[in-house]
């Protein structure tokens, strides 16, 4: 609480710590600490650990070579000795040598002790990113060998130069000591979903199908599974997940087949396939049903391999902050670019957004991607309207409410 001294909301946070919590409609008082998973925990972690990045900010000089007019020149450049990434109370420190990391740990421990904190010994480990990698926030991060370039003769030089141009920006080139055959082994940082998290997710899906789905019809099963599957896919869509997504889709469909076999033990696979599965895009088999509502629309399970496309994340430039007024244009362009990914590519909602040029027609202000926005039907469905592109508008949530309020007053 000492770091909150002078903040106007200090008393509110103090009350928040003592307010207790409700689980399954039962009140549990908070006598000490914070409840596991409570929303105040990450807030307090951010307050307590703010400034840790300054403790490890240190520069060092490294040797590198370059060529000029056919000559090799040895040079030195100044780089960050450590790299730091933190999310709430989880953080990672990277460096080029094991000795650097062994040197920084005591400094971090000393800084934490001043705040009444300590490192978790079970989770604090030094890992070689090439040999074993490390897990962080559900992702497995590892340097992997991508290419081996032979540079020993004219035959390979032209090909090698072309390959070097096509390497990813984060590729590392390590010359081999063999003088007769000059080679450069190239490594790239590959980020994939952590396999433990994949197993945990599939276990959760199987648990739903085995326990909760017994009392549900097919439509409700799909409605229960879709948000969980889509949420998991959206979390991992920004890394190298294609292979994992295909594997997850296969495992989910296998679990669904076993669930249907329990529901219809005397029926053959052909009957189950004809009743519960539909071929989509000519070659993709998926679990579906017809809804029981008036519109009788199809309810289809999310296809993990196709419905959520992989999108490569673009790193924020330098230390750019969204609160910096000088970088307003940069963040606007970035949000607009990434905002289109909220709509499926080529969908009618994306077409409406493009047609409006990203502007709300009610207030004439840009629709930012972190804004709350809703889809408005110009002619209501009850009044004979439809969900075609021409009849849709994307509005800010408050503009949408104001629009409906005005319509009710006019009628």
Check residue 201 and give its pLDDT.
93
Domain assignment present for residue 351? The answer is yes
Measured distance CA(382)–CA(389) in Å, rounded:
17
Is the same domain home to 292 and 218?
yes
CATH of the domain at 376: 1.10.30
Paired tokens of 193: 């979903």
Residue that has been written with the tokens 């005005």 in this structure: 406
pLDDT tier at 176 (50, 70, 90 boundaries)?
very low
Shared domain check, 267 and 204: yes
CA-to-CA separations, 321 to 123, 172, 183, 297, 330, in angstroms, rounded = 30, 28, 41, 45, 10
pLDDT classification of 323: cutoffs 50, 70, 90: confident
Same domain, 30 and 14: yes
Taking the mean position of all CA atoms in its chain, how far away is CA 157?
A: 39
| 18 and 104 together in one domain | no
* Least confident stretch, 11-15, 188-192, 384-388: 11-15
Asked whether residue 181 carries a pLDDT value surpassing 50, the answer given is: no
Tell whether 18 and 58 lie within a shared domain.
no
Asked whether residue 200 carries a pLDDT value surpassing 90, the answer given is yes
If asked whether residues 287 and 335 sit together in one domain, one would say no
Bridge partners, residue 22, by sequence: 27
Structure tokens, 63: 């040797």
The two tokens of residue 262 are 């329990």
Same domain, 264 and 332: no
Q: Are residues 248 and 287 in the same domain?
A: yes
Rounded to the nearest 10 degrees, how much is the dihedral formed by the CA atoms of 78, 82, 86, 89? -150
| pLDDT averaged over every residue in the chain | 76
Domain contains 30 = yes
Residue 174 has pLDDT above 80, yes or no: no
Distance, in Å, from the CA atom of 67 to the CA atom of 224, rounded to the nearest integer, reads 60
Is the same domain home to 8 and 95?
no
**Lowest-confidence range among 2-16, 149-163, 242-256?**
149-163
Checking if the pLDDT of 237 tops 90, the result is: no
Higher pLDDT residue, 25 or 392?
A: 392
Report yes or no: 36 and 59 within 8 Å, Cβ to Cβ. Answer: no
pLDDT score, position 337: 57
pLDDT at 183 over 90: no
Q: What pLDDT does 179 receive?
A: 40
Closest CA to 374 of 344, 390, 352: 352
Residue of 125 and 61 predicted with greater confidence? 125
Domain boundary among 70, 94, 126: 126
pLDDT at residue 319 above 60?
yes
224 falls within a domain: yes
Count of domains forming the chain: 4
pTM of the model: 0.67
Q: Which domain holds residue 33?
A: 2-50
Taking only the tens place, the pLDDT of each residue in 31-63 is 666 666 667 778 888 888 888 888 887 766 666
What are the two backbone dihedrals, phi and then psi, of residue 354, each rounded to the nearest 5 degrees? Answer: -65, -40
Domain-terminating residue out of 126, 146, 175:
126
pLDDT at 199 over 90: yes
Residue 23 and residue 34 in one domain? yes
**Is the pLDDT score of 340 beyond 70?**
no
> Stretch 158-177: mean pLDDT, rounded?
52
Would the pLDDT of 9 be above 70? no
**Higher per-residue pLDDT: 153 or 199:** 199
Q: Is 215 inside any structural domain?
A: yes
Half-sphere exposure of 161 (CA within 13 A, CB side): 5
Structural domain includes residue 152: no
Establish if 156 belongs to a structural domain: no
Predicted confidence band of residue 193 (pLDDT cuts 50, 70, 90): very high
Q: Would 389 be classed as within a structural domain?
A: yes
- Pair 359, 374 in one domain: yes
Residues 250 and 273 in one domain: yes
Does residue 203 carry a pLDDT above 70?
Answer: yes
**Assigned domain for 77 exists:** yes
């Amino acid at each position: 609480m000492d770091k909150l001294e002078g903040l106007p909301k200090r008393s509110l946070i103090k009350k928040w710590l003592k307010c207790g919590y409700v689980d399954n409609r039962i009140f549990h008082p908070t006598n000490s600490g914070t409840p596991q998973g409570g929303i105040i925990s990450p807030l307090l972690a951010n307050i307590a650990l703010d400034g840790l990045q300054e403790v490890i900010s240190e520069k060092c000089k490294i040797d590198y070579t370059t060529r000029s007019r056919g000559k090799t020149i040895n040079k030195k450049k100044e780089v960050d000795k450590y790299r730091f990434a933190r999310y709430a109370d989880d953080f990672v420190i990277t460096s080029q040598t094991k000795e650097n990391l062994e040197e920084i740990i005591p400094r971090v421990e000393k800084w934490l002790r001043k705040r009444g904190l300590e490192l978790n010994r079970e989770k604090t480990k030094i890992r070689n990113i090439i040999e074993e990698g490390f897990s962080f926030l559900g992702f497995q991060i590892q340097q992997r060998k991508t290419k081996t370039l032979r540079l020993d003769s004219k035959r390979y030089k032209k090909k090698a130069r072309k390959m070097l141009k096509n390497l990813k920006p984060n590729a590392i080139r390590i010359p081999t000591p063999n003088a007769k055959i000059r080679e450069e082994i190239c490594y790239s940082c590959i980020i994939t979903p952590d396999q433990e998290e994949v197993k945990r997710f599939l276990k959760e899906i199987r648990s739903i199908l085995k326990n909760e789905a017994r009392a549900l019809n097919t439509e409700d099963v799909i409605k229960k599974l879709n948000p969980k599957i889509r949420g998991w896919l959206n979390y991992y869509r920004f890394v190298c997940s294609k292979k994992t997504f295909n594997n997850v889709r296969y495992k989910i469909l296998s679990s669904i087949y076993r669930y249907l076999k329990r529901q219809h033990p005397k029926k053959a696979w052909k009957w189950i396939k004809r009743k519960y599965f539909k071929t989509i895009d000519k070659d993709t088999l998926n679990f579906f049903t017809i809804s029981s509502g008036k519109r009788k629309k199809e309810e289809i399970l999310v296809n993990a391999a196709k419905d959520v496309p992989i999108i490569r994340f673009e790193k924020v430039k330098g230390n750019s902050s969204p609160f910096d007024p000088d970088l307003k244009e940069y963040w606007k362009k970035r949000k607009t670019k990434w905002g289109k990914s909220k709509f499926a590519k080529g969908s009618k909602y994306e077409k409406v957004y493009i047609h409006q040029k990203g502007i709300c027609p009610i207030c004439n202000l840009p629709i930012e991607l972190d804004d709350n926005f809703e889809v408005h039907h110009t002619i209501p469905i009850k009044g004979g309207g439809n969900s075609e592109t021409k009849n849709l508008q994307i509005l800010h949530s408050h503009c949408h409410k104001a629009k409906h309020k005005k319509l009710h007053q006019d009628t």
